[in-house]
Amino acid sequence: QSALTQPASVSGSPGQSITISCTGTSSDVGDYNYVSWYQQHPGKAPKLMIYDVSNRPSGISNRFSGSKSGNTASLTISGLQAEDEADYYCISYTSISTWVFGGGTKLTVL
Amino acid sequence: QLQLQESGPGLVKSSETLSLACSVSGGSISSTNYYWGWIRQPPGKGLEWIGSKYSGSTYYNPSLKSRVTISVDTPKNQFSLKLSSVTAEDTAVYYCARHQKQWVGDAFDIWGQGTMVTVSS
């Protein structure tokens, strides 16, 4: 199975909004609403931010939102804050009952 | 609240078997709402799903399937990972995680802190 495609890096200024894309195929992202997103700070374990495309776990800021169109899922962070600077990963369920991660996106807050 | 803690050797010789355990505290590993999974991250690289298991249902990454075994030990409230015939490419931080089943919301919601495993020649 091939990794989902994410941009290597994105950047934005404090207060702005950014969107990170996660592109798969009709056998994963396109066919299931089982995409989740994770934030990872250096040297730390990943943290769940969004599940089932657009649901936020308890305690996650509503500045984080998710969506999907066709084979591409997206994570949007509004009102960027310095603490949002981290790596972000998507993962999707697939048609062969496996899960596949995206390559990860480094978010820089300018 | 539920916590996960990985344990095992930090150094494994090439061609041998990597063995890690994940202890679950603050909750039961028997809950029917969850799988128990392993994810790894080579130094400076991205995350890779290794596999997830609950009772008789086990799912493995196809690229690792021939070398991987995940087991669940209910009495000990822990689960384990075995990866055979390791090479330098298996050097990574290994994370254990609770994997919510789809009717709960498909996601890895709780993670261990991770343990670094280096494969030496």
Q: Could you identify the residue written with the tokens 């962070």?
A: A77
Q: What is the pLDDT of residue A108?
A: 98
Nearest to A48 among B109, B112, B113 (CB): B109
Q: Give the model confidence (pLDDT) of B4-21 as tens digits.
A: 999 999 999 999 999 999
B107: which chain A residues are within 8 Å (Cβ-Cβ)?
36, 48, 51-52, 57
Q: Enumerate residues 6+ apart whose C-beta is below 8 A from B31.
A: none
The distance of B15 to chain A (nearest Cα, Å) reads 25
Chain A residues in contact with B52 (beta carbon < 8 A)? 99
What confidence tens digit (pLDDT) does each residue in A45-92 have? 999 999 999 999 999 999 999 999 999 999 999 999 999 999 999 999
What confidence category does residue A1 fall into, taking pLDDT thresholds of 50, 70 and 90? confident
Are residues A60 and A80 in contact, defined by beta-carbon separation less than 8 angstroms?
no
Residue A103 Cα distances to A91, B64, B77, B94, angstroms: 9, 18, 32, 17
Task: Evaluate whether B80 touches B71 at the Cβ level (below 8 Å).
Answer: yes
H or E stretch at A107: strand A105-109
Q: Which of these, B39, B99, B52, B94, lies nearest to A36 by C-alpha position?
A: B99
Q: What is the pLDDT of residue A94?
A: 97
Would you state the pLDDT for residue B55?
A: 82
Percent of chain A with pLDDT over 70: 100
Query: pLDDT tens-digit profile of B40-86?
Result: 999 999 999 999 999 889 999 999 999 999 999 999 999 999 999 99
From B55, B108, B3, select the one nearest A92 (Cα to Cα).
Answer: B108
pLDDT at B60: 98
pLDDT recorded at residue A8: 98
User: Hey, are the CB atoms on B63 and A36 less than 8 Å from each other?
Assistant: no
C-alpha to C-alpha distance for B95 and A101, rounded to whole angstroms: 14
Instruction: Render pLDDT for A18-55 as a digit per residue (tens, 0 to 9).
Output: 999 999 999 999 999 999 999 999 999 999 999 999 99
- Whether B49 contacts A4, CB under 8 Å: no
Nearest C-alpha neighbor of A73 from the set A46, A107, A105? A105
Half-sphere exposure of A56 (CA within 13 A, CB side): 12
The model's pLDDT over B88-116, given as tens digits with 9 standing for 90+, comes to 999 999 999 999 998 888 999 999 999 99
